[in-house]
Amino acid sequence: MTQPTILATDLEGVLVPEIWIAVAERAGIERLRLTTRDIPDYDELMRGRLALLREHRLTLADIQRVIGAIDPLPGAVEALARLRERVQVIILSDTYYEFAVPLMAKLGWPTLFCHSLEVDEQGMISNYRLRLPDSKTAAVRALRELRFRVLAVGDSYNDVGMLAAADAGALFEPPQNIVADFPHFPVLRGYNDLLAFVEQETQR
């Protein structure tokens, strides 16, 4: 019997633009442009972000206003619809539910596993709460334990664990430093490549 297949995909950089880069551009804070493409240690990255938000007095509501103006990447909605005709799709992201709602609405409400934020009385983000460490990799392993065939795509350092844990993993339009550090993963250049990757892997 053929195993049912799930595609586990990252969100930012694959389906939508990087949220923190959009915030950096709107607020004029260059250091907020750093993402998991630049800093492998997620805790170091988030601690730096929270310190910058406190320094510049940016609240959760300020960030949500920026996110509300973000649209999916060109072709993402159509590609996601086509992918969901072929396989089940789960978005595994290191973003936060408090950020993601308007983006999920624009993508047609796909399933999303991500994290949560702690917010103080002034509306400032005081901390972040991971569902569990390296949750993307844990989710892929759990899905395989449930006897699903799992394909995974992502573009950053925090995606490589889930790519390695999947039955087949690929990088989606990654920066050159990620390609250089992980040359064993195939590189997908655009949604046609992603659709072809899924089509090929579901025929195995």
Catalytic residue among 12, 98, 159, 201: 12
Minimum mean pLDDT range among 30-39, 69-78, 159-168 = 30-39
10 annotated among ligand-binding-site residues: yes
What pLDDT is attached to residue 141?
98
Asked if residue 49 belongs to a known ligand binding site, the reply is yes
* Helix (H) / strand (E) containing 68: helix 60-68
Catalytic residue among 10, 98, 159, 201: 10
State how far the Cα of 116 lies from the Cα of 28, in Å rounded to an integer.
Answer: 25
Give the closest residue to 112 by CA, choosing from 130, 87, 95, 134: 95
pLDDT score, position 56: 93
- In whole angstroms, how far apart are CA 149 and each of 42, 76, 89, 145? 28, 23, 12, 10
pLDDT in tens, 4-50: 999 999 999 999 999 999 999 998 999 888 888 888 888 898 999 99
**What is the 3-class SS of 38-62, one letter each residue?**
CCCCHHHHHHHHHHHHHHHCCCHHH
Mean pLDDT of 181-198: 96
Confidence of residue 203 (pLDDT cuts 50, 70, 90): confident
Alpha-carbon gap, residue 202 to 204, rounded angstroms: 6
Structure tokens at 129: 């709460």
Active site residue 201: no
pLDDT at 41: 87
pLDDT (0 to 100) of residue 97 = 95
For the chain, the average pLDDT equals: 93
Q: Is 12 a catalytic residue?
A: yes
pLDDT of residue 34: 87
Domains in the chain with CATH codes: 5-16+75-116+127-202 (3.40.50.1000), 21-68 (no CATH)
* pLDDT value for 204: 77
Q: Each residue of 103-161: pLDDT tens digit?
A: 999 999 999 999 999 999 999 999 999 988 899 999 999 999 999 999 999 999 999 99
| Neighbouring residues of 144: CB distance < 8 A, sequence distance ≥ 6 | 150, 165, 166, 167
Q: Does residue 181 have a known ligand-binding role? A: no
